[in-house]
Structure 1
Amino acid sequence: MADDIRVLIVDDDFHVAKLHVAYVNAIPGFTALPPVSGGEEAIRVVRAMQPELVLLDIYLPDVNGLDVLRGLDVDVFVISAASDVASVQKALRRGALSYLIKPFRAEFLEQRLRAYARYRSVLAAGNTLDQEAVERALRILHPGESGAGKPRAATEAAVLEILRRTSVPTAASEVASEVGISRATAQRYLSSLVYEGAASVQLRYGSTGRPEHRYSVRGAGPADS
């Protein structure tokens, strides 16, 4: 789709690249571009296609991926079997947003990509950002100390799933009814999702003139306008 986050996969192993393409395309809101196998080709494709994110291997046949990283003006996740401290430090020092060590489960990459989508949503919320927004974006992308990267509780996951399935912004009372929880509990989970950047909220005025908070997934529908 036109608004999907486009991801370029750079890996010289055809089978691994094909697998990562499948991982990316399975996540709503993401589209994998045709993968490339070399560093020079990656630089050309990034300049021509301007993807939002690159999944970059280090061991490439022509140029070391860490040298490619230095010349890319785009968000990058390094994905490599290299687990030595020097490689990890150099990748992060040269601007990689994340470092994933092969092999890993599809769920691990999915978690990182969903976090990246929320990170982008927070940074795109306005023309300027305050410090709280910057800190929230960084916590989403690097959740280790805050614990935000842990698997969601079943109730929170159910609340988020309701928002994903609904095409229009939804009230806390409607979410509560769908999930089978109290309105106060639904409100607590919805507020948490808004805080971490996974959902957005706006005020709607009903027939009584009283404002009501309505929630939607970040980047979906008129709630982000």
Structure 2
Amino acid sequence: MSEDFRVLIVDDDFHVAKLHAAYVDSVAGFLALAPVGSTAQALQSVHSLRPDLVLLDVYLPDGSGLDLLGQLDVDAMMLTAASDAVSIRTALRRGALAYLLKPFTAESLSQQLRSYARYRRILGRQHAVDQDTIERAKRALVAGDVAPSGKPRSATEASVLESLAPGEQYSATEVAERVGVSRATAQRYLSSLADDGAVEIQLRYGSTGRPEHRYGVPARLSPN
């Protein structure tokens, strides 16, 4: 489970927090930590648990989630009923990576989390990046935005993409066999396609408990 993104939910409504935790746990590659219901508890949990991502409400019993946001040195998204423009601008100005209005569906949060995973992949493999990489990372955070980077696909990359049947999930080894390339080559092109949003990555846990990456074409990109 070490590869999962660990997510802390901060919401003073226990039932809502529990529901959102279930939403998080339903997304492959994400693990919900025990939710907390106040700014004080959130600060303590961030310090002790070191989550990768905090999902934060604005309305908390001992302060504003917007004030807490400015104190957190961790990726954060707002999940809140606060729909006024001032709160939204404040959240974005203080570093919120996304702003999701309650009530929302499990799929809405799932899309946002998958976008976050794509963002982390783009910026997670190298220390120095170019401007194109920065722009792709920014686009990745917009749920549902899978616009291609604009660079032409090589013949091998196109073959890898075409080997993925809509609605199916494949391992890198399976893709390599379908295309006729090495596993390392298939893995490299699959990662690039995932960064562009053309391919989605799921984690499947086998009997040994070790995760296996599975690759597939997003439903919104599948042909009719």
Give TM-score scaled by structure 2 length.
0.72
Q: Deviations over 1:25-76 (max 9, x none)?
A: 0111000000000011101110111100000000000011000000000000
Aligned counterpart, 2:66? 66
Which amino acid in structure 1 is aligned with residue 29 of structure 2?
G
- 1:130: which partner in 2? 130
CA shift at 1:196, angstroms? Answer: 3.3
Q: Give the counterpart letter for 2:175 in structure 1.
A: T
Cα 1:117–1:144, aligned 2, differ >3 Å: closer, same or farther? closer
Structure 1 residue aligned with 2:169: 162
Paired AA for residue 121 in structure 2: S
Does the aligned pair in 1 maintain the 2:77–2:98 contact within 8 Å?
A: yes
Residue 126 (structure 1) shift: 1.1
Q: Is the 8 A contact 2:111 2:144 kept in 1?
A: no
Number of residue-to-residue matches in the alignment:
184
Q: Which runs of 4+ in 1 moved over 6 A?
A: none
Q: Distance in 2 between matches of 1:37 and 1:53?
A: 16
Question: Residue 170 of structure 1 aligns to a residue in which SS?
Answer: helix
**SS in structure 2 of the partner of residue 97 of structure 1:** coil
Measured in 2, the distance between the counterparts of 1:117 and 1:33 equals: 17
User: Which residue in 1 is equivalent to 2:207?
Assistant: none
* Aligned: 1:81 with 2:81: yes
Tell me the CA shift for residue 3 of structure 1: 1.1
Structure 2 CA distance for partners of 1:139 and 1:2, relative to 1, 3 Å:
same
What CA distance in whole angstroms lies between the structure 1 residues aligned with 2:75 and 2:24? 15
Q: Is the 1:122–1:197 contact (alpha carbons within 8 Å) kept by the matching residues of 2?
A: no
Distance, in Å, in 1 between the alignment partners of 2:200 and 2:40 is 38
Amino acid at match of 2:25: N
Q: Secondary structure at the match of 1:72?
A: coil
Unaligned runs of 5+ in 1: 149-154, 176-188, 201-214, 219-225
Give runs of aligned pairs for residues 35-114 of structure 1, distance below 5 A.
35-114=35-114
Give the letter aligned to residue 169 of structure 2.
I
Say which SS state the counterpart of residue 171 (structure 1) adopts: helix
Distance 2:88 2:81 in 1: 11
Question: RMSD of aligned C-alpha atoms?
Answer: 3.2
| 1:48–1:198 distance in 2 versus 1, CA, 3 Å | farther
Higher relative contact order (CA 8 A, sep 6+): 2
Ranges in structure 2 where 5+ consecutive residues have no aligned partner: 149-161, 181-189, 202-212, 217-224
Q: Give the letter for the 2:103 counterpart.
A: P
